[in-house]
Amino acid sequence: MPLLEINKEECTGCGACVSVCPFGALSLVDNIATVDDKCTACGACLDVCPVNALSLPERPEAAAEDLKAYQGVWVWVEQFQGEACSISWEMVGKGRELANQRGTILTACVLGHNVGHIAKQAIAYGADRVFWVDDPTLAVYRTQPYANVLVELVRQYKPEIFILGASSRGRDLAGSVATELYTGLTADCTGLDIDPETNLLRQTRPAFGGNIMATIICPNYRPQMATVRHRVFEMPVPDENRQGQIIPIKPNLSEDQIATKVVDFIRQQGEVNLADAKIIVSGGRGVGGPEGFEPLRELAEVLGGAVGASRAAVDAGWIPYAHQVGQTGRTVRPDLYIACGISGAVQHLAGMGTAKIIVAINKDPEAPIFSVANYGIVGDLFQIVPALTEQFKKKLRR
């Protein structure tokens, strides 16, 4: 059943393909590469074969003029309770760069109600043009009206590239929009660049819980769509003097045609959200119980950070799931991650391994967390964490 074709005449049995297959679908049988059903046709093996013995079926190609009709870079500007989300400005910053590389303009799509101020901000952050879609039905994010508005706009104005922040809302929305448009969508990217030869958007993302990276393209469908993780791209500096065009758009929406109603929002009390947090103080099995998170909270408070947790602490019921960092929780990318009593299992590292600076505080000097940390203290977190809090209070005069 696998789609991968292996030219058995050409294969030299070198095994290069076997070792790059992310799915373990290739093996050597009688010194010839053999593929089984685990193959997902991802193509990782094609380039490593020194004798070009591997191939996948050709895909239908789109006509060049159809693709040419699509121009410009677009960004969706997410808002929550009338304020723009910082991830969106990160997208505008990157979108600006991509637009410059493609020699085209950057358009921001601002959807909401009474969000004219966000449309202006979008220009300041780097957009040339803003589609400002203001309507009571768009006050709170809901998939259907948001997706319908964006689908309409894309159909009418045909952007070449469309990027969205990979927040919960961004991923919810992008999946719906790309499906309706029948185009490719790359999830959760950590890198975007333009291939200088083909002018295609190269979209790089982690998969397999961060164990592998994949670069993905979308050559025959438009727009090329991607969601991008929090804090991957720099926050641009706004320039209030920048000029741009704000185009108000009246959407064709009516409340009685929207099945979903948002009834309530329960904000996390007094806590910074993990995805946006610059500093995270995180606890694992070593904190020993729910009250063990207290010193971590105090440190987080002094630093203006958020509190995270490993799966072990969440599964033990010491702290709610919303705090879980790692493969089955949230992926975070803070400037500073302080891991207290966390051993550092692969699944946890998958969620925080790209933090700028990692500090490990652990009794066990052999804990794997030390292998990814920049700084470590071996010892009792119940002594070290409060001491650290005191030091920061002193040094930061807080």
Partner 1 sequence: MNIIVCIKQVPDTTEVKINPETGTLIREGVPSIINPFDTYAIEEGLRLKEKFGGKVTVISMGPPQAMEALKEAVAMGADEAILLSDKAFAGSDTWATAYTLSQAIKKLGEFDLILCGKQAIDGDTGQVGPGIARQLGISQLTYVFKIRHLDPESRTIVVERLLEEGREVVETKLPALLTVVKDINQPRYPTFLGIRRATRMQIPVWGAADLPGADSSKFGLKGSPTQVVRVFNPPKREGKVEIIQADSVDEAASILADKLLAEKVI
Ligand X SMILES: Cc1cc2nc3c(=O)[nH]c(=O)nc-3n(C[C@H](O)[C@H](O)[C@H](O)COP(=O)(O)OP(=O)(O)OC[C@H]3O[C@@H](n4cnc5c(N)ncnc54)[C@H](O)[C@@H]3O)c2cc1C
Each residue 363-392 as x (binds partner 1 by CB under 8 A) or -, in order, gives: --x----xxxxxxxxxx---xx--xx-xxx
Q: Contacting ligand X (CB under 6 A), which of 185, 192, 325, 338?
A: 185
Binding to partner 1 by residue 397, rule CB under 8 A?
A: no
Contact region with ligand X (CB under 6 A), list: 142-150, 210-218, 307-315, 335-343: 210-218
Q: What Å distances lie between residue 6 and 20, 99, 192, 201, CA to CA?
A: 15, 40, 32, 29
Binding to ligand X by residue 42, rule CB under 6 A?
A: yes
SS3 category, 161: strand
Each residue 336-365 as x (binds partner 1 by CB under 8 A) or -, in order, gives: x--------xxx-----x--xxxxx----x
Task: Show Cβ contacts of residue 67 under 8 Å, excluding neighbours closer than 6 positions.
Answer: 220, 222
Binding to ligand X by residue 232, rule CB under 6 A?
A: no
Among positions 244-283, residues that touch partner 1 (CB under 8 A) are 259-268, 273-276, 278-279
Q: Contacting partner 1 (CB under 8 A), which of 11, 54, 127, 174?
A: 174
Binding to ligand X by residue 200, rule CB under 6 A?
A: no
**Rounded-to-integer distance, Cα 296 and Cα 279, Å:** 12
Least Å distance between CB 331 and partner 1? 9
How many residues lie near ligand X (CB under 6 A)?
11
| Contact present, 224 and 200 (Cβ < 8 Å) | yes
Q: Which contacts of 8-16 are long-range, i.e. CB under 8 A and separated by 24 or more positions?
A: 8/32, 8/53, 9/53, 10/51, 10/52, 10/53, 11/51, 11/53, 12/50, 12/51, 12/53, 14/50, 16/45, 16/48, 16/49, 16/50
If one counts every other C-beta atom within 10 angstroms of the C-beta of residue 286, the result is 22
Q: Which of 37, 98, 369, 49 has its CA nearest to residue 223?
A: 98
Pick between residue 44 and residue 246 the one whose CB is nearest to partner 1.
44
Binding to ligand X by residue 20, rule CB under 6 A?
A: no
Contact region with ligand X (CB under 6 A), list: 74-82, 182-190, 341-349, 385-393: 182-190
Least Å distance between CB 188 and partner 1? 7
Binding to ligand X by residue 187, rule CB under 6 A?
A: yes
SS3 category, 170: helix
Binding to ligand X by residue 309, rule CB under 6 A?
A: no
Cα radius of gyration (the chain):
24
